[in-house]
A and B are shown apart, each in its own frame.
Chain A
Amino acid sequence: MAGVLLSEAEKTFILHGVQSDLRNDGRSRQDYRPIELELDIVTHANGSARVRLANTDVLVGVKTEIDVPKPEKPEEGKVEFFVDCSANATPVFEGKGGEELATEISNFLASSFASSMSFDLKTLCIIKGVQCWKLYVDILILECGGNLFDAVSLAVKAALHNTMVPRVETVAMDGGNVDLQLSGDPYDCWRLDTKNMPCLVTLSKIGEHFIVDSTAEEEECSMASLVFSVTDGGRLNSLCKTSVGSLHPHTLAEALKVGVDVGVRLNKALDQALAREDRRLEADKPERFGFLK
């Protein structure tokens, strides 16, 4: 990732701060920085969300298209995650610089959403083996200030929550051709069930302790970090070590408990925020803020 240069003394200061449970910005080890969420900010997307976590800024847009299901899974729709680490965020991402990070995030998202208990792809089926919906989840990293995984997952879950899939009214098979008739009313849509979709929690190990929501400086000090994909009910969908460094099995088992606990709280917070934002959007002409104000 975009490396920040730190002196040894600064690293020591951060390390001791984590030890005494008082980080440089006054947070304890398990506190998040302020998070801001906005839904439905891209007009042309079927669903969109922007999440700003302190200095990390992520914009997600979901587009739905009609596709042919995979032959091995005729009853299921498709979903594809694509992360774009644009050079907007940092010049390091220019050209192929951000590619590795981008594939890492998109692959991790794909495996987090892979379980049918989290995201039932069968709901995206139109005609078995012939037509299905395909969701393109495009993630744009606008600013990168540490803890990218968490911010991305919040935005993805929010955007999927916001996604409106058009309702198919009639389906006619004409020989080999399929004739789909979508509802004429653009608001006649159905929404995805995001209840069991996971959020990602990154734990970074600094010294002997794990911290959540590390800043770019703290990431520089961390020797090992783990990403957990945790659902509302406290189930783990995916887990991966994402940095150099190794962990003792005991430490790992402890990190598991913390990660799941934080993940449940994060999901709860997101659900509440989504509900409030939904209420706001129900109003007649909800204001869009985006990057203004």
Chain B
Amino acid sequence: MQDIKIRLASERVNHSLTFGEKGAPQLFTPGQTITDNQRVMSGHGTYLDEDNKDVLKASVAGTVERVNQLICVRPIKCRYMGEIGDVVVGRITEVQQKRWKVETNSRLDSVLLISSVNLPGGELRRRSAEDEQMMRKYLQEGDLVSAEVQSVFSDGSLSLHTRSLKYGKLSQGVLVKVPPSLILRRKNHFHNLLCGASVILGNNGLIWIYPTSPEDESGVGGFTQNLEEVIDTEDRERIARLRNCILALAASKLMLFDSSIQYAFEESLSYSIKELLTPETMVDVALHTRHRLQSYKDD
């Protein structure tokens, strides 16, 4: 049994890895003038001043990105802004007529229509009135799903679908929440990591860690939840370690994708899992991971 340790605020560790380093990008705050050049176009996170139409100002705090004439401000911290085709992880908050409300960390609640899920018994099955009454049997409040963004409504809320075997209700595992901007957009967001566990990196900043199932690919999906299965301790250790590693990377604002997570996992092996909860260790793991990522890039 470990002794309880209470730290002091004076010993607080700064998680920022670029702290004090040069070359940090310039930040803009809402209302700050970006440019008074008339020839630019106003993109996301910017607005044109009412009085002086030439002046472009930022509406969110973040870094400026420029594509030819288009100027955008990419917010540092924001809720998830969905795009069609994104993989998301969400939690059912409400069962309604013909649809589920899903919390996906975006500005508005997302919806999952009953017509956008694969019901048991084949893809081309007709949705009957019974199905509507059975909705809570398939997914109930609190359940987690992985899904894809099917369309974005005009008000910005998302419509999801799970019409693929890889999407569907999530079974046993751990959910980690990180800022959505830290998730690197990739072709594939489902990864069976080398370390022996699997992750779904939802574009919306929700990451699902679960044990790799022996029968590949078909592990998730559908509406089954195995509540009897007891995950063995080894899998559990991997999942716990991955969880702490991901949080360590997120605390130091490192991008999250399969290799960064795998590296962090490997770098963390010199510590015990619960040591990864302390700030010093978190920074150490993040530093080593960044180092490895950079050396890989240099090669």
A residues lining the B interface (CB < 8 Å): 5-10, 12-13, 16-17, 20, 22-28, 30-38, 41, 50, 54, 154, 265-266, 268-270, 272-273, 276-277, 280, 287, 289-290, 293
Q: Contact between A13 and B7 (Cβ–Cβ < 8 Å)? A: no
- B71 interfacial by beta-carbon distance below 8 Å: no
Contacts A7-B170, A23-B240: A36 and B12 contacting too (C-beta < 8 A)?
A: yes
> Which listed residue (A8, A31, A35, A280) contacts B2, Cβ 8 A?
A31
Task: Tell me which of B105-113, B226-234, B290-298 binds A.
Answer: B226-234
Question: What's the least CB distance linking B299 to chain A, in Å?
Answer: 33
Q: Let me know if A273 and B7 touch, CB within 8 A.
A: yes
Contacts of B83 in A (CB 8 A): none
**A-B contacts, CB under 8 A, total:** 128
Interface residue range, chain B:
35 or more
Contacts of A290 in B (CB 8 A): 9
Question: Would you mind naming 16 contact pairs between A and B with Cβ atoms under 8 Å apart?
Answer: A5-B91, A5-B142, A9-B225, A12-B172, A13-B174, A13-B231, A22-B233, A22-B240, A23-B240, A26-B276, A34-B7, A35-B4, A35-B5, A37-B8, A269-B4, A272-B6
A23 to B244, CA, bound (A): 12
List chain B residues, Cβ under 8 A from A36: 6-9, 12
Which B residues are in CB contact (< 8 Å) with A22? 233, 236-237, 240, 273
Given contacts A9-B171, A24-B174, whether A289 and B9 have CB atoms under 8 Å apart is: yes
**B240–A37 touching, CB < 8 Å:** no
Q: How far is the CA of A290 from the CA of B225 in the complex (A)?
A: 45
Interface status of B57 (Cβ within 8 A of chain A) = no
Q: B213 in the interface, Cβ–Cβ < 8 Å?
A: no
B4 contacts A32, C-beta separation under 8 Å? yes
> In angstroms, how far is the closest chain A Cβ from the Cβ of B71?
32
Establish whether residues B143 and A7, one from each chain, have CB atoms under 8 Å apart when the complex forms. yes
User: In the complex, what residues of A have CB within 8 A of residue B272's CB?
Assistant: 26
Task: Scan B181-206; emit 1 where CB is below 8 A from any A CB, else 0.
Answer: 00000000000000000000000000
The complex places the Cα of A12 from the Cα of B3 at a distance, in Å, of 29
Contact with A along B157-177 (1 / 0, CB 8 A): 000000000000011111100
Say whether, besides A9-B172, A16-B231, A17-B236, A38 and B225 are in contact (CB < 8 Å).
no
Report the nearest B residue to A5, measured CB to CB: B142
Q: How far is the CA of A146 from the CA of B80 in the complex (A)?
A: 26
CA distance A6 to B170 in the complex (A): 12
**Complex contact B10–A269 (CB within 8 A):** no
Give, as a whole number of angstroms, the nearest-CB distance from B270 to chain A: 14
Of the residues A20, A26, A35, A293, contact of B273 by C-beta under 8 Å: A26
Give residues 201-252 of B contacting A (CB, 8 Å).
225-227, 230-231, 233, 236-237, 239-241, 243-244
Residue from B10, B173, B226, B273 in contact with A289 in the complex, judged by beta carbons closer than 8 Å: B10
* CB neighbors of A among B1-30 (8 A): 1-10, 12, 14
Q: State the CA gap A180–B112 with chains docked (Å).
A: 71
Most buried by B among A16, A26, A41, A50: A26
